[in-house]
């Protein structure tokens, strides 16, 4: 499709702004003025509308197709959440308003939302308090490990410089720990897909600050030894961080706080049904046990005895500002609406249906793809296409074949410890019929490894472009027009 710049025609206008009814004036000295306007395109409003409508039609979204991208929890995003986020009482609210004298009284509704999210998240996860500041999951990880660093600094144990991270972890875990000043020590996964306890024992020591563990883990499995793992880390003086990327599996069934974790982030854009936005904005609130409360970011929303709310800043042990304000507030609005809609009974059903749907897929595909860990999975299943490699077919080819079946492919090549991995996460909001269609489509594509491998190598053919030359893109980067 043409770039928007190529659609530009001199003199066209796409918006109207009020007429200036004051003398034109500027307080910018002549030598600091822009001489040539930025080369932005000139288009009519309809030109702009058509361009972006057509671009949108080149995308796949949850609303159009099943989107079983593992570890991403692409569940349905309820429509009325968008309406709530657009209410002027929220959308037009300046974030500095509560910092004015008597300003807190002007933002009681917004502060109630932040407080509500903090409180309900704490209850669902089993922790004492939560912060809504982190603006994405990885940002939540960073916040969590910064609190762990602050905790050890406060205790005079700054020698604890090592963060333990399983080999199956998301890449964000080591990257976040590194940004908080930690060195990384990798812990192996055992033959059942759990943390290798022997290896963990070897890796623990008085230089260890903690362990970052995804629960359920990144193989889509519930670690049988999770309590023991937490106990071992605690016994060695470390803290346990729960990466809540996969919280959708256990929500309404288990609370990570009860399992022994000390700090946890959740992804509102996964478990709490806020849209992924094509890659963001997300939101990654962090919940902590009582003893870590002093280290939470500021400001904190506090409830007075009379039921009103205020922002509190006076926490000398706090790690400080993680976001400029209170986090991605309009994402919080949507997550809060979701929590209020589901309620207690609703959340109980989320986890069990997410797990049931994933196992249903696993049960119907395990004969044509390999299952490295033969056990029931949680909210997602990880299958391997390694048996097809001899036929010249890789996970990538199956994925591209799925695109021609009009279904978004699963996550591929993650976790790295499973060769030719396909990670499938259906979520609880998909119907059995959709799962059946997906199963049939993937079985068909797998069968093509024998019947029509060249067709899989050529896939996708139904999209606006076929496979793109990524090598050229990286070798001769062309990053702007």
Partner 1 sequence: MPYIANTDADRSEMLRAIGCFSFDQMWEKCGVTEARPHFNLPSGLSEYEVICHFRKLAAANAVHLVNFMGGGYYDHLIPAAVGELAGRSEFYTAYTPYQAEASQGTLQAIFEYQSMICRLTQMEVSNASLYDGGSALFEAMMMAVRVTKRRKAVVSGAVSPIYRKMLEDYSRNLDVELVTIPAGADGGSDPAAVAAAIDDDTAAMLVQYPNFFGHVEEWSSAIETAQSHGALAVASCYPIALAALKTPGEMGFDVVTGEGQSLGISLSFGGPYLGFMAVREKLMRKMPGRLVGRTVDRMGRTGFVLTLQTREQHIRREAATSNICSNENLCALSALIYLSLMGKNGLVEVAQMCQSNAVFCRDELLKISGVEAVGPGAFFNEFVVRLPMDAAEVAGRMIDKGYAAGFPLGRYYHGRENELLIALTEKRTREEIKGFVNAMEAALWN
Q: Is 197 exposed, middle or buried (0-12, 13-18, 19+ CB in 10 A)?
A: middle
Q: Minimum Å distance from CB 234 to partner 1? A: 18
Which residues 359-418 are close enough to bind partner 1 by CB under 8 A?
359-360, 362-364, 375-378, 399-400, 403, 408-409, 411, 414
- Under rule CB under 8 A, residue 296 binds partner 1: no
- Under rule CB under 8 A, residue 124 binds partner 1: yes
Q: Minimum Å distance from CB 202 to partner 1? A: 20
- Under rule CB under 8 A, residue 470 binds partner 1: yes
Region of 286 on the Ramachandran plot (φ > 0 left; ψ -120 to 50 alpha; else beta): beta
Whole-number Å distance between alpha carbons of 285 and 232? 26
Alpha carbon distances (Å) from 475 to 164, 251, 298: 35, 44, 44
Q: Minimum Å distance from CB 293 to partner 1? A: 17
Rg (CA), the chain: 25
Burial annotation 109-129 (CB, 10 A radius, 16+ → b, else e) = ebbbbbbbbbebbbbbbbbeb
The 214-253 site mask, x for binding partner 1 (CB under 8 A), equals: -------xxxx-------------------------x-xx
The one segment of 200-208, 236-244, 384-392, 458-466 that binds partner 1 by CB under 8 A: 458-466
- Please provide residue 131's backbone torsions phi and psi, each rounded to the nearest 5 degrees: -110, 140
| Interface pick for partner 1 out of 287, 292, 333, 365 (rule CB under 8 A) | 333
**One-character DSSP codes across 160-174:** --EEEEETTS-THHH
Sequence-ordered list of residues with C-beta below 8 angstroms from that of 141, at least 6 positions apart, any chain: 172, 173, 176, 177, 212, 241, 243, 265, 284
Q: Which is nearer to partner 1, 92 or 390 (CB)?
A: 92
Q: Minimum Å distance from CB 121 to partner 1? A: 11
Residue whose token pair is 């396909």: 422
- Under rule CB under 8 A, residue 57 binds partner 1: yes
| Interface pick for partner 1 out of 198, 206, 231, 258 (rule CB under 8 A) | 258
Whether 265 and 124 have beta carbons less than 8 Å apart is answered as no
- Under rule CB under 8 A, residue 349 binds partner 1: yes
The one segment of 71-79, 199-207, 387-395, 443-451 that binds partner 1 by CB under 8 A: 71-79
- Under rule CB under 8 A, residue 348 binds partner 1: yes
Which residues 169-208 are close enough to bind partner 1 by CB under 8 A?
170-172, 174-182, 184
**One-character DSSP codes across 185-207:** EEE-B-TTSSB-HHHHHHH-STT
Q: Which is nearer to partner 1, 65 or 384 (CB)?
A: 65
Find the angle CA(54)-CA(59)-CA(63) to the nearest 5 degrees: 110
Q: Minimum Å distance from CB 326 to partner 1? A: 5
| Interface pick for partner 1 out of 369, 430, 438, 445 (rule CB under 8 A) | 430
Sequence-ordered list of residues with C-beta below 8 angstroms from that of 92, at least 6 positions apart, any chain: none
Q: Minimum Å distance from CB 131 to partner 1? A: 13
């Amino acid at each position: 499709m043409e770039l928007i710049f190529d659609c530009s025609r001199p003199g066209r206008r796409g918006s109207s702004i009020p007429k200036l009814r004051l003398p034109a004036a500027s307080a910018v000295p002549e030598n600091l003025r822009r001489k040539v306007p930025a080369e932005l395109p000139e288009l009519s409003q309809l030109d702009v509308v058509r361009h972006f409508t057509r671009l949108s039609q080149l995308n796949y979204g949850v609303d159009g197709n099943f989107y079983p991208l593992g570890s991403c929890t692409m569940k349905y995003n309820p429509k009325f959440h968008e309406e709530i986020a657009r209410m002027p009482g929220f959308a037009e609210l300046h974030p500095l308003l509560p910092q004015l004298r008597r300003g807190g009284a002007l933002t009681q509704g917004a502060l109630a939302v932040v407080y509500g999210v903090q409180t309900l998240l704490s209850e669902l996860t089993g922790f004492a308090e939560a912060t809504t500041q982190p603006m994405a999951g990885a940002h939540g990880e960073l916040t969590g490990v910064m609190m762990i660093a602050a905790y050890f600094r406060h205790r005079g144990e700054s020698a604890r410089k090592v963060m333990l991270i399983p080999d199956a972890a998301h890449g964000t875990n080591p990257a976040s720990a590194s940004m908080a000043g930690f060195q990384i020590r990798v812990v192996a996964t055992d033959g059942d897909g759990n943390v290798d306890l022997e290896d963990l024992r070897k890796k623990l020591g008085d230089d260890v600050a903690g362990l970052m563990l995804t629960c359920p883990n990144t193989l889509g499995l519930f670690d049988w030894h999770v309590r023991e793992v937490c106990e071992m880390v605690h016994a060695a003086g470390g803290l346990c961080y729960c990466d809540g990327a996969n919280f959708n599996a256990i929500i309404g069934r288990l609370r990570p706080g009860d399992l022994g974790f000390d700090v946890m982030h959740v992804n509102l854009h996964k478990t709490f049904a806020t849209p992924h936005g094509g890659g963001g904005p997300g939101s990654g609130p962090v919940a902590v046990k009582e003893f870590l409360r002093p280290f939470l970011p500021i400001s904190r929303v506090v409830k007075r005895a009379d039921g009103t709310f205020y922002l509190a800043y006076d926490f000398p042990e706090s790690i400080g500002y993680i976001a400029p304000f209170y986090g991605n507030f309009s994402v919080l609005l949507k997550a809060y609406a979701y929590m209020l809609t589901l309620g207690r009974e609703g959340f109980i059903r989320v986890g069990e249906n997410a797990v049931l749907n994933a196992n249903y897929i696993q049960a119907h595909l395990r004969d044509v793809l390999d299952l490295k860990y033969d056990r029931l999975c949680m909210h997602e299943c990880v299958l391997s296409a390694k048996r097809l490699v001899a036929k010249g077919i890789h996970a990538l080819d199956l994925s591209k074949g799925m695109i021609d079946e009009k279904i978004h492919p699963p996550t591929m090549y993650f976790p790295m410890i499973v060769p030719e991995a396909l990670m499938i996460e259906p979520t609880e909001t998909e119907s059995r019929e959709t799962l059946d269609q997906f199963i049939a489509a993937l079985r068909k594509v797998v069968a093509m490894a024998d019947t029509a491998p060249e067709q899989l190598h050529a896939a996708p053919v139904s999209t606006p472009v076929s496979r793109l030359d990524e090598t050229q893109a990286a070798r001769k980067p062309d990053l702007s027009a």
